[in-house]
Amino acid sequence: MMLLNALNHFPYLLLYVFRSIMFPNVGSGERPFYYESMLFSFAFSPFGPWLYSEEKMNVLLVSIKEACLMVPPEWFFVYQIVEGTFHFMICFGWLFHVMGFGWGKDFLFKWGILNEMFWMDYPYVAAFQWVAFQVNSPLAHVCAIVHHLTVVPNLLWLWSWARDGNGVKAKSK
């Protein structure tokens, strides 16, 4: 379960690092979705104009900004640093677990996932769902579904953690 979550969060960790290097400033509100929109363009453009076009992407990006309650760019700048920190905790927590490091082997992963779910997953699920209904285009619905699917491994880990008491498969006795 931990590997699934590490693989799920690794692309987001890469996006965070890339965005931090390539776009280190707060910007004027475009920073939060600039690289995500490039990723959407790459992923969805092969499906043709019925799903993706520049016009549809622009409508979607405006709606996403509205769904974020038009918060100031400075707020989103800090929010994305916190989000990147959670992805870092999840990926490196898994790595520490595999390598058997002492204090950090489960602490980083567990608290990274729990914080990711509370501070990121639930607000994003609501925002993407709102955008999907607001825009009502195939692109908006596909983006919402893709996002919702990335939450499933977190929920599976939470269920495993609640069931086993620690989210890590119990060792055989």
Residue 92 in any domain: the answer is yes
Q: DSSP labels for 90-158?
A: HHHHHHHHHHT-STHHHHHHHHHHHHIIIIIIHHHHHHHHHHHHHH-SHHHHHHHHHHHHHHHHHHHHH
Residue 145 in any domain: the answer is yes
Which residues span the domain enclosing 140?
2-164
Model pLDDT, residue 101? 77
pLDDT of 123 higher than 50: yes
Residue 11 in any domain: the answer is yes
- The rounded mean pLDDT for the chain is 80
Residue 139 in any domain: the answer is yes
Query: What's the total number of domains in the chain?
Result: 1
How many other C-beta atoms can be found within 10 angstroms of the C-beta atom of residue 54?
11
pLDDT tens sequence across 62-82 = 777 666 655 677 887 888 889
Residue 170 in any domain: the answer is no
Q: For the packed helices 104-115 and 2-22, what is the interaxial angle rounded to 10 degrees?
A: 70
Residue 116 in any domain: the answer is yes
pLDDT of 151 higher than 60: yes
Residue 97 in any domain: the answer is yes
CB 44 within 8 A of CB 52: yes
pLDDT band at 34 (very low <50, low <70, confident <90, very high): low
Model pLDDT, residue 103? 64
Model pLDDT, residue 169? 52
pTM of structure: 0.78
Q: List the structure tokens of 171.
A: 């060792």
